[in-house]
Structure 1
Amino acid sequence: MPSPFRVAASVAAAAALTFTGVGAHPAPAAPVARYAALGDSYSSGVGAGDYLADGGDCKRSANAYPALWQRAHAAVEFAFVACSSATTADVRARQLSAVTADTTLVTISAGGNDIGFADTLETCVLGSDRACSDAVATSTAYVRDRLPADLDATYAQIRRRAPNARLVVLGYPRLFETGSCLLGLSVAKRRALDDAADTLAEVTARRAAAGGAEFADVRARFAGHGVCAADEWLHGLTLPVDESYHPTATGQARGYLPGLVALTG
Structure 2
Amino acid sequence: MTGPGTWLRGLRRRLGERGTALAALLALVLLAIGPLVALPAVRCEVFGLGCRRPAPQPSAAEPARTATPRPLTPVEAATWGSYVALGDSYSAGEGAYATAADRAPTNRCRRTSQAYYHTIAKEFRFAGGSALWACSGATTQHVLKGKAGEPPQIERVNAGTSLVTISVGGNDAGFSRVLAGCVIRVPWSRACRDQGGEIADRLAALRLSLAEVLDAITERAPRARVIVLGYPRLFAETEGAAGDNLSIGDQQWLNSQARALNEVIRQVAADRDHQIAASGGAGSVEFIDAYSAFAGHEVGTPDPYVNGLKVDLAALAAEPASFHPTAGGYRALAALVSQQIKAGPGRPLHQYR
The normalised TM-score by structure 2 is 0.64
SS for the counterpart of 2:165 is strand
SS for the counterpart of 1:30 is helix
Instruction: Structure 1: state its 5+ residue gaps.
Output: 1-26
- The match for 2:142 is 90
Listed one character per residue, the Cα deviations across residues 49-79 of structure 1 (whole Å, up to 9, x for unaligned) are 1355697111111111111110222555112
1:163 counterpart = 2:163: no
Distance in 1 separating the partners of 2:311 and 2:183? 15
Distance in 2 separating the partners of 1:264 and 1:192? 32
SS for the counterpart of 2:154 is helix
Distance 1:262 1:60, change over 3 A: same
Distance in 2 separating the partners of 1:61 and 1:141? 32
SS for the counterpart of 1:36 is strand
Aligned with 1:188 (options 239, 244, 249): 249
Distance 1:183 1:56, change over 3 A: closer
- The match for 2:237 is 178
SS for the counterpart of 1:58 is coil
Listed one character per residue, the Cα deviations across residues 177-217 of structure 1 (whole Å, up to 9, x for unaligned) are 11121454111111111000000011100101112211111
- The match for 1:127 is 185
> Which amino acid is the alignment partner of residue 38 of structure 1?
L
1:248 counterpart = 2:299: no
- The match for 2:302 is 230
- The match for 2:164 is 106
Q: Report which stretch shifted further, 239-248 or 185-194.
A: 239-248
How many percent of aligned residue pairs carry the same amino acid?
Answer: 38
Aligned with 2:335 (options 241, 258, 265): 258
- The match for 1:44 is 92
Distance in 2 separating the partners of 1:137 and 1:235? 27
Aligned with 1:80 (options 105, 125, 132): 132
The normalised TM-score by structure 1 is 0.84
Distance in 2 separating the partners of 1:142 and 1:124? 18
> Which amino acid is the alignment partner of residue 263 of structure 1?
Q
Instruction: Structure 2: state its 5+ residue gaps.
Output: 1-72, 146-151, 274-284, 313-318, 343-353
Computing the radius of gyration from Cα coordinates, the structure with the larger value is 2
SS for the counterpart of 1:97 is helix
Contact 1:29–1:263 (8 Å) recurs in 2: no
- The match for 2:119 is 68
Distance in 1 separating the partners of 2:119 and 2:216? 26
- The match for 1:8 is none
For the aligned residue pairs, the C-alpha RMSD in angstroms reads 2.0
1:130 CA drift (Å): 6.1
- The match for 1:57 is 108
Contact 1:120–1:135 (8 Å) recurs in 2: yes
> Which amino acid is the alignment partner of residue 267 of structure 2?
R
How many residues end up aligned between the 2 structures?
A: 237
> Which amino acid is the alignment partner of residue 268 of structure 2?
R
Distance in 1 separating the partners of 2:181 and 2:293? 27
> Which amino acid is the alignment partner of residue 230 of structure 2?
G
1:30 counterpart = 2:76: yes
Distance in 2 separating the partners of 1:74 and 1:60? 22
